[in-house]
Amino acid sequence: MVSMATKKRSPLELLSNAQCRELSGSYWKVNSAAYQFSPMAGVGSPSWRKGAEGIAFPLVDQRTGQVTAWLKMFKSSIDTRRQRVEWLIRQKLGQKSLHLTAVPSCWIDTRDSARPEGINFDFCGSLSQAVPGKSWSEWKTLMHDDGQRLDDRLRLRAAFDLLHVTAELERNSCCHGDLSPGNTVVDLQADPNEPVLRPCDFDAFVALNASGRAIQSLGTAAGGTCGTPGYSPPALQQNCLQGRNVIPESDRYGRDILLLELLGFGPKNDPDL
C-alpha cells in the first residue's frame, strides 16, 4: 500500500475561463502577504492574460490597491516547471541586481497552502514581484496612437538597463529566453537610482550550467517557447516552424532589436512590425 507521503499526485489542469472568473476579486493570503485576484473590468474584460504557455494573473495588494505580484499558471510540464522555478529562486538573481526583481520568488501549490477565500478548486504556479511601469509593447502603441513622447534621456537609460540585464544574466550563465516588447517593462517615473527597464516573465530561461537537463532548459517539445517572432533568431523560428525541438540559446538577438526600438521608435513607426 502506498503511503500518502510517497503517493504521486495527479497533475493539476490549467484553469478554465470560468474558474478564472471565479478567482477574479477573491482574497488570498499566502506567505504572510494578503492579495486580491485582480477583479474583471467588466463583462468580457478579463484581468488575467492567457498566452502560449499558460495564464498570468495580476495580484493586488489589499493595503495599497496596487498590482504587486503576478501568479503564472502553466498548461504543461508542471513538475519540470516547479523544479526550474525552485532552481531559479535559489540563484537569488533579484538580490544581485535591481534589474532582475521580477524573477520568480516562490512556487505555490494550494494543496500545500491555503486556497483563496470561497474557492473550492486547486491550482499551482510561480509567484513573481510586479515591477512598475508599462510593457514596451504598450509604450509603442501609446506613441503610435496617442503621440506619447519618451524623453531621450529616459531612452538612453532604458538602453543601458537592457545592456546591464543581458550582461548580468550572462554573468550568471543564464539567458532570459524571450526578450521581447511584451516581456520588457519600462517605468518613465523611475528614480535616478532605480532601473527604467526591467525584464519580466522568465519562464523560458536557459541555464546550461544547472545540474539536470530538465532544469537547464525547456524545449518546445515539452511546452516551452522558442521566443517571440521578430525578437528571436530567424533560424530558431524557422526550426520551430518545421517542428523541431528547439530552445533559446541567447538573448543577444532580442536585445539588439529592442535596443534599436528603444533608441529610435517614433510615432510614425508601426508598433506591430
- Per-residue pLDDT tens digits for 55-75: 999 999 988 889 999 999 998
DSSP annotation of 213: H
CB 3 within 8 A of CB 62: no
In the chain, the amino acid numbered 228 is T
Residues of the chain with pLDDT under 70: 1-8, 43
Look at residue 8 in the predicted model and tell me its pLDDT: 66
Look at residue 214 in the predicted model and tell me its pLDDT: 87
Q: Per the structure block, which three cell numbers stand in for 96?
A: 544581485
Look at residue 2 in the predicted model and tell me its pLDDT: 36
Angle, CA of 209, 178 and 213, to the nearest 5°: 30
* Helix, strand, coil share (%) of the chain residues, nearest 5: 35, 20, 50
Look at residue 273 in the predicted model and tell me its pLDDT: 76
| Host H or E run for residue 124 | strand 124-129
DSSP annotation of 175: B
CB-side exposure of 44: number of CA atoms within 13 Å? 0
CB 266 within 8 A of CB 150: no
How far apart, in Å, are the Cα atoms of 211 and each of 87, 153, 216, 239? 9, 42, 7, 26
Look at residue 256 in the predicted model and tell me its pLDDT: 98
